[in-house]
Amino acid sequence: MAKRSNEPFLWLLCSACGVVAALLIPIHLFLFGLAFPLGWLRAPSYDQALALARSTLGRVYLLVFCILPLFHWAHRFRYTLYDGLQIKHLNELVNTLCYGAATVGTIAAAYLIWRIP
């Protein structure tokens, strides 16, 4: 009998990260991508933005916000490559690229958030 796959972990990760992405990203994208640049709402000043970001809560929030959706992307994009480009046989390469990219993003996010003055 084959050992059970470890895919459940990745599926749970994708699901949890998908929920976080669904809950938080739309409002952020609306505010920072449209409302502020187009002047519909008053954007926070540099000092206000910095104050928000440098607080402990702010840093933790930004960590969660930047890291989790990347892993959601990694899992979904991996399967889209399997089905779209039919490269399931290259699964080791695809897995490394997808989860690797997410890991690189995680390190970049952690570094940047740590460097907030």
Partner 1 sequence: MLRYNEYPPKGYRVRVSTYWWIGRWAYLKFILRELSSVFVAWFVLETLLQIHALIGGPAAYADFQAFLRHPVAIASNVISLFFVLFHAVTWFNLAPKAMAIRLGGKRLPSLAIAGPNYIAWALASIVVAWLILRG
Partner 2 sequence: MAEQITLEITRYSPERDKTPSVASFDVPLRKEWVVLDALNYIKDKVDGSLSFRWSCRMGVCGSCGMTVNGEPKLTCATFLTDYAPGPVLVEPLRNFPVMRDLIVEITDFLAKLAKVKPWIIRKKEMPVSEGEYLQTPDQLDAYRQFSMCINCLLCYAACPVYGLDPLFAGPAALALAQRYNMDSRDEGKNERMDILSQHDGIWGCTFVGECTQVCPKHVDPAGAIQQYKLTAAQEWVKSLILPWGGK
92: contact with partner 2 by CB under 8 A = no
Structure tokens at 110: 């952690």
8: contact with partner 2 by CB under 8 A = yes
How many C-beta atoms surround the C-beta of residue 49 within 10 A? 13
83: contact with partner 2 by CB under 8 A = yes
Quote the distance between the C-alpha of residue 33 and its chain's center. 17
User: What own/partner pairs with CB < 8 Å and gap ≥ 24 does 53-60 have?
Assistant: 53/113, 53/116, 54/116, 54/117, 59/113, 59/116
Spatial contact of 69 and 25, defined as CB atoms under 8 Å apart: yes
Nearer to partner 2, 61 or 77 (CB): 77
Binding residues for partner 1, rule: CB under 8 A, are 18-19, 21-34, 36-38, 41-46, 48-50, 52-53, 62, 65-66, 69-70, 72-73, 76-77, 79-80, 83-86, 89, 105, 108-109, 112-113, 115-117
Q: Which parts of this chain interact with partner 2 (CB under 8 A)?
A: 1-9, 11-12, 79, 82-83, 86, 88
